[in-house]
Chains A and B, each alone.
Chain A
Amino acid sequence: MKLTINGITHQVEAEPDTPLLWVLRDELGMTGTKYGCGIAQCGACSVMVDDIVTRACVTPIESLENRRITTIEGIENDPVGKRVVAAWVKHQVPQCGYCQSGQVMAATALLKETPHPGDDEIAAAMVNLCRCGTYNAISAAIHDLAGDERTGQ
């Protein structure tokens, strides 16, 4: 079947019930999206499907034909994503970095839908786990972006 990822259409061979995560990582070699739990608990595998944050580890590819998939590899092609990455660098968010692809995806999806989210919206959207405990840095980066007039443009 065909998958459109970061604007490029890929012909993939995996079985239709294969989770997107493993098609990305093993078949397409896009390893920026991470495996953490496999049961949609941790969010390390977060991608965007039609701009909605989606846990790739539990999303079979058969549900994704004709959908627009964005992974961390394409994040800087999105103007909001590019600002999120810049804020992550400015606030020195990552430590080990393993969860950060998913955190950046979650933040980008939030800000694309809600350019200036309030605290409750941020708390509801930023639920990915980080074992290094970078939560305060993530919060600082998001609040910085939420108050940025350009966000969402």
Chain B
Amino acid sequence: MTKPANLLSPDTSLLTGAPVNLSRRRFLLLSAGTTAGAFVLGFGLPVGGARAEGLSGTMKPGTRVPAFLEIRPDNSVHLQSPFVEGGQGIFTAMAQIVGEELDADPAGFIVENAPAGSDYKVMGNGMRITGGSMSVRMSYSTMRRLGALARQMMLQAAAERLVAPVGELTTEPGRVIHGPSGRSIPYGQLAERAMDLPVPDPESVTLKDPGQFRWIGKPLARLDVYEKSVGKAIFAIDCRAEGMLYAAVQHAPRLGLTVGNVRNEDAVRAMKGVHSVHRLPGAVAVVAERWWSAKRAAEALQVDWREPGPESDVRYMPADFSTAAFSDLLANTPGSGQEAENVGDVAGALKNAHTVVSATYRSQYVNHAQLEPPSALARFNPDGTLELWIPNQAPEMFQADIARRTGLDPSRIIIHSPLLGGFFGRHFIYNTATPYPQAIQLAKEVGRPIKLIWSREEEFLRDTLRPMAAVRFRGGLDANGLPVALEAVTVCEGPTEGISGHKDGKIDPSAVEGLAGKAYAIPNHRIAQIYVKNPVMLGYWRSVGNSMNDFLYEAFLDELADKGGQDPYQLRLHLLRGNQRLSTLLQSVVDLSGGWKRGPFTATDGTGRARGIAMASPFGTETAAIAEVSIENGQIRVHDVWQSIDPGSIVNPAIIEAQVNSAVALGLSEVLLEEAVYKNGQPVARNYDLYPILPSDRMARVHVRIIESGAKMGGIGEPGLPAVPPAVANAVSRLTGQRVRSMPLSRHTFES
């Protein structure tokens, strides 16, 4: 799939005389910020007038076929994906979608992440982000149409070649067929001409009837598994540039502090292999011939860190900050909050309720802990362009951010987006939490390309965190034990307002998603947020607000059920009566698990077990999960997780199953093990030794059922997560009789 050599070298195919699609070259030549442009210019490749005219920016994103597709004489289809691959299978899904309408086998696709450019802002909202589980659902029809346009261009080129009317032509995978004469031409022999044709009016092509799909909806093999099994996949940390030096940094132990005196600067500069020492905002860097030398030297630096002045524009971490105290502060912050949702009369219903249940639930900070540490390779080219190889989930946004930081025009900033070694929300624009501003400054100061890698310890120090929250719940039950009122007041800073700034009087939807918008028919409910700013940098974490809020809400719902003497499954069914989609979903997960069996019961191995159930509605998809747990030496063991997922309609069921497995693993990790603890203004964990993530022996068996209800297409990458932590917590509460109101379970004490 990705071709390492091409990441770093000029497009050698032009030099070697290997056959290329010149239309694509011309496109690259003229479009801003692309891989080959700077180099190709040097060879004086002629520029076609028609193509240049076509680049005036008037074409709708996702329609300029040569910007996306190159079909080579060997019939391989090279696709520029608007979305970056980080394990979620998007390159394969894009090949399936485009290949379906192009009529080309997705298995023959070679996919890479497209450069920055307006053509690639294919999402329905005019953006380009790999996140929010949006890639397929927000670009589905556009990418299908792109494939259909390309097929139409193949037909037109074939019509010229065969001197036959387009109406007599059809396609079979990878070739155009002329039925009357029995002649056929492979796409690879048509592409050069086809890609020089004007792109047809997007409205002129008809998309396939889904009943005719050959590849969409099928469990096709992923395109990238072989390269990833033999070490050939290239991540940002693997990229190299000729003449580059390596850099490592030592950050201030607390965010906001500035660099004072470096007490041993001369000694560090004299260390073997060290090139230079540099002062950066909130960090000191060492540049060296090798990264190991740079890292050891950076660790040896003795820096006097200074308190920030009033001019500081980054968050400030006080020396006395602790997560334990902050969690209590959130729980005890008074107020009724800014309303996200207010239906009926909660106050009145609570007043008249037979029983009122009040409880405060809490979530913890969690780290991304993706296996690939952040890095950035920055190079200033002789022509004045700045070229970067950086992990990122939104090339144009990074380009704009770098333009703002450097004063360069965006067209002079070339962004390469290699495969992501996991992301989970880690690679958005986070001020102070990404290495590229440092790499750019170092490359400028040193005058050579710089490859900066953050050590795992520096990553844990500067990673953005999933927010903490304390949610004060009140629930009212009627005389039959059924909920008539529910209030949730979350005290928290949402990730979006953490990143983009809080607006007074506004609630952050990402702070309340999973609390608000619940489908349960509780006649009176009120969801509100109280904003409390955090001293840490907040970020998006797989499934964002849902990652904590569905735990908080669904666990409290079980508490309500127990107080009212209701079975939690039957109660949910009751609260969803009349909601066909969610009733079906809930029943399906119970069916998948062999029937509702809450327990406690004794398993065949003699262990006492119980099951918990929970639901979530993340990113346009509906999910329901059941978890079965036991206690082993005081530790929770999750044996099985059953999950039904209804994303409306699907592209690749095998990838969905893999993504649900993956999301279950992260959900288990969060509920069982994870918490970023701060003491004295510093994170206690700086590596995986003190920040455990789910290991192999804590993984559960996962059983997945996909339901295609035909509803509007939802997301896949994140939705499998949010129902898992509450399903586990509810099972544990049932098994132990101890109500679980916070994560992770490793901080609770259970008796075997």
Q: Do A and B bind each other?
A: yes
B86 contacts A96, C-beta separation under 8 Å: yes
Which of A34, A35, A99 counts the most B-chain CB atoms under 10 A from its CB? Answer: A35
A89 contacts B88, C-beta separation under 8 Å: no
Q: Which residues of B contact A76 (CB under 8 A)?
A: 230
B231 contacts A42, C-beta separation under 8 Å: no
- Digit string of A32-57 for contact with B (CB within 8 Å is 1, else 0)? 11111111011010000000000000
A127 contacts B422, C-beta separation under 8 Å: no
CB of B358 within 8 Å of the partner chain:
no
A75 contacts B453, C-beta separation under 8 Å: no
Question: Separation in Å of the B655 CB from the closest CB of chain A?
Answer: 9
Provided the pairs A31-B238, A131-B424 are in contact, do residues A22 and B693 lie with their beta carbons within 8 angstroms?
no
- The closest CB in chain A to the CB of B698 belongs to A135
CB of B582 within 8 Å of the partner chain:
no
A94 contacts B225, C-beta separation under 8 Å: yes
- The closest CB in chain B to the CB of A21 belongs to B292
**B-facing residues in A35-86 (Cβ within 8 Å):** 35-39, 41-42, 44, 71-73, 75-76, 85
Question: Separation in Å of the A112 CB from the closest CB of chain B?
Answer: 17
Question: For the complex, what is the distance from the CA of A13 to the CA of B487, rounded to whole Å?
Answer: 66
CB of B677 within 8 Å of the partner chain:
no
Question: Separation in Å of the A67 CB from the closest CB of chain B?
Answer: 20
- The closest CB in chain B to the CB of A39 belongs to B687
**A-facing residues in B685-709 (Cβ within 8 Å):** 687-689, 693-697, 699, 701-702
Which of B224, B272, B423, B661 counts the most A-chain CB atoms under 10 A from its CB? Answer: B661
Question: For the complex, what is the distance from the CA of A74 to the CA of B3, rounded to whole Å?
Answer: 19
CB of A147 within 8 Å of the partner chain:
no
Which of A73, A76, A133 counts the most B-chain CB atoms under 10 A from its CB? Answer: A133
Which one, A15, A31, A36, A96, contacts B87 given CB within 8 A? A96
**A-facing residues in B370-406 (Cβ within 8 Å):** 370-373
B456 contacts A22, C-beta separation under 8 Å: no
Which one, B86, B225, B292, contacts A26 given CB within 8 A? B292
B662 contacts A42, C-beta separation under 8 Å: no
Question: For the complex, what is the distance from the CA of A135 to the CA of B693, rounded to whole Å?
Answer: 13
CB of A138 within 8 Å of the partner chain:
yes
Which one, A22, A25, A85, contacts B230 given CB within 8 A? A85
Which one, B221, B232, B419, B689, contacts A32 given CB within 8 A? B232
Q: Which residues of A contact B232 (CB under 8 A)?
A: 32
CB of B233 within 8 Å of the partner chain:
yes
Question: For the complex, what is the distance from the CA of A131 to the CA of B125, rounded to whole Å?
Answer: 30
> Which interface class (under 10, 10 to 19, 20 to 34, 35 or more) fits B?
35 or more
CB of A129 within 8 Å of the partner chain:
yes
Question: Separation in Å of the B724 CB from the closest CB of chain A?
Answer: 11
Provided the pairs A73-B231, A98-B371 are in contact, do residues A34 and B87 lie with their beta carbons within 8 angstroms?
no
Question: Separation in Å of the A39 CB from the closest CB of chain B?
Answer: 6
CB of B666 within 8 Å of the partner chain:
yes
Question: For the complex, what is the distance from the CA of A34 to the CA of B419, rounded to whole Å?
Answer: 14
Which one, A39, A133, A139, contacts B665 given CB within 8 A? A133
A132 contacts B664, C-beta separation under 8 Å: no
- Digit string of B225-255 for contact with A (CB within 8 Å is 1, else 0)? 1111111111101101000001000000000
Question: For the complex, what is the distance from the CA of A90 to the CA of B665, rounded to whole Å?
Answer: 21
CB of A136 within 8 Å of the partner chain:
yes
Q: Which residues of A contact B665 (CB under 8 A)?
A: 130, 132-133, 135
B292 contacts A130, C-beta separation under 8 Å: no
Q: Which residues of B contact A111 (CB under 8 A)?
A: none
CB of B369 within 8 Å of the partner chain:
yes
Provided the pairs A41-B689, A96-B421 are in contact, do residues A85 and B229 lie with their beta carbons within 8 angstroms?
yes
Which one, B231, B235, B422, B663, contacts A33 given CB within 8 A? B231
Question: For the complex, what is the distance from the CA of A25 to the CA of B88, rounded to whole Å?
Answer: 26
Question: For the complex, what is the distance from the CA of A75 to the CA of B226, rounded to whole Å?
Answer: 12
Question: For the complex, what is the distance from the CA of A102 to the CA of B223, rounded to whole Å?
Answer: 20
Which one, B240, B272, B371, contacts A131 given CB within 8 A? B371
Which one, B228, B661, B696, contacts A127 given CB within 8 A? B696
CB of B432 within 8 Å of the partner chain:
no
Question: For the complex, what is the distance from the CA of A138 to the CA of B697, rounded to whole Å?
Answer: 12
B688 contacts A97, C-beta separation under 8 Å: no
Which one, B230, B420, B456, B662, contacts A134 given CB within 8 A? B662
**A-facing residues in B30-87 (Cβ within 8 Å):** 86-87
CB of A92 within 8 Å of the partner chain:
yes
Question: Separation in Å of the B292 CB from the closest CB of chain A?
Answer: 4
A135 contacts B455, C-beta separation under 8 Å: no
Question: For the complex, what is the distance from the CA of A97 to the CA of B223, rounded to whole Å?
Answer: 12
B89 contacts A34, C-beta separation under 8 Å: no
CB of B291 within 8 Å of the partner chain:
yes
Q: Which residues of A contact B225 (CB under 8 A)?
A: 88-89, 92-94, 97
- Digit string of B354-377 for contact with A (CB within 8 Å is 1, else 0)? 000000000000000111110000
CB of B317 within 8 Å of the partner chain:
no
CB of B658 within 8 Å of the partner chain:
yes
Which one, B291, B424, B664, B702, contacts A22 given CB within 8 A? B291
- What 8 pairs between A and B have smallest CB-CB spacing? A32-B231, A133-B665, A97-B228, A96-B87, A98-B421, A72-B231, A95-B87, A94-B228
A-B contact pairs, 22 of them (CB 8 A): A22-B290, A22-B292, A26-B246, A26-B291, A31-B231, A32-B232, A42-B688, A73-B231, A88-B225, A88-B229, A89-B229, A92-B222, A97-B228, A101-B231, A104-B229, A127-B697, A129-B695, A131-B369, A131-B370, A132-B87, A133-B661, A135-B665
Q: A residues touching B (Cβ–Cβ < 8 Å)?
A: 14-15, 18-19, 22, 25-27, 29, 31-39, 41-42, 44, 71-73, 75-76, 85, 88-89, 92-101, 104, 123, 126-139
Q: B residues touching A (Cβ–Cβ < 8 Å)?
A: 86-89, 221-222, 224-235, 237-238, 240, 246, 272, 290-292, 369-373, 419-424, 453, 455-457, 654, 658, 661-666, 669, 687-689, 693-697, 699, 701-702
Extra A-B contacts (13), CB below 8 Å, given A41-B688, A96-B422: A19-B292, A36-B371, A38-B457, A44-B371, A93-B225, A95-B89, A97-B224, A98-B421, A100-B229, A104-B230, A129-B693, A131-B369, A133-B669
